[in-house]
């Protein structure tokens, strides 16, 4: 973990979030969430997003969904999952401001993290967003590398299972500005902690 970044993120306006492993339980390596029945929201996510929303910040999902390229589910099925996610969050007083998806396999595009295409699209759609006022939260080395490439601060959701190998996890920990056990922990202690507001 890089030093000097753990006193709070008060200047952050745009919170970029990976999906699997940050918002919902990540399946084992090589497996995918292929339908809503397999989608399990992680504890504390609704409240964490509600606090992000209430603080005036934007919550933006940037997610690799290679399962589409592999034919495990369609873009339409993925859109249905995300609509159900949105509706479930709204029922708990929370919202996502945007969801950006890469449905491609490795080497097919410039949007699959650790490439930065999804972030560039978000910066076009949100005129005030820029690396300096954004943070990327993810549970894998790809997430941290993508955030760093675009120039954002990065936060590793470190539950010990996000990276496919121990080496990847160790490298992600070294590259990230901060490592926390959950989105809820980050919001409570670094983003919306009462003493920072």
* Catalytic residue annotation: 18, 20
Q: Are 94 and 51 in contact (CB under 8 A)?
A: no
Angle 118-138-146 from CA coordinates, rounded to 5°: 45
The full length of the chain comes to: 197
**Closest residue by Cα to residue 66 from 17, 101, 37, 26:** 101
Of 150, 120, 137, 147, the closest CA to residue 49 belongs to 137
Q: Which residue has the tokens 């084992």?
A: 28
CA distance 157 to 179: 6
- Could you check whether the bond before residue 114 is cis, i.e. omega within 30 degrees of 0? yes
- Classify burial at 91, counting beta carbons within 10 Å of its beta carbon; exposed 0-12, middle 13-18, buried 19 or more: exposed
């Amino acid at each position: 973990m890089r030093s000097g970044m753990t006193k709070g993120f008060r200047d952050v306006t745009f919170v970029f979030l990976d999906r699997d492993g940050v918002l919902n339980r990540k399946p084992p390596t090589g497996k995918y969430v292929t339908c809503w029945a397999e989608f399990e929201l992680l504890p504390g996510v609704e409240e964490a997003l509600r606090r992000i929303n209430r603080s005036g910040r934007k919550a933006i999902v940037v997610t690799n969904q290679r399962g589409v390229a592999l034919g495990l589910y369609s873009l339409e099925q993925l859109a249905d999952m995300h609509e159900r996610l949105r509706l479930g969050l709204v029922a708990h007083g929370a919202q996502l401001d945007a969801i950006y998806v890469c449905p491609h396999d490795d080497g097919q595009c410039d949007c699959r993290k650790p490439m930065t295409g999804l972030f560039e699209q978000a910066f076009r759609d949100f005129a005030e967003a820029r690396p300096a006022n954004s943070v990327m939260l993810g549970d894998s080395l790809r997430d941290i590398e993508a955030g760093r490439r675009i120039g954002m601060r990065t936060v590793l959701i470190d539950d010990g299972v996000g990276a496919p190998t121990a080496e990847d996890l160790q490298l992600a920990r070294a590259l990230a500005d901060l490592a926390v056990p959950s989105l809820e922990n980050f919001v409570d202690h670094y983003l919306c902690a009462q003493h920072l507001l």
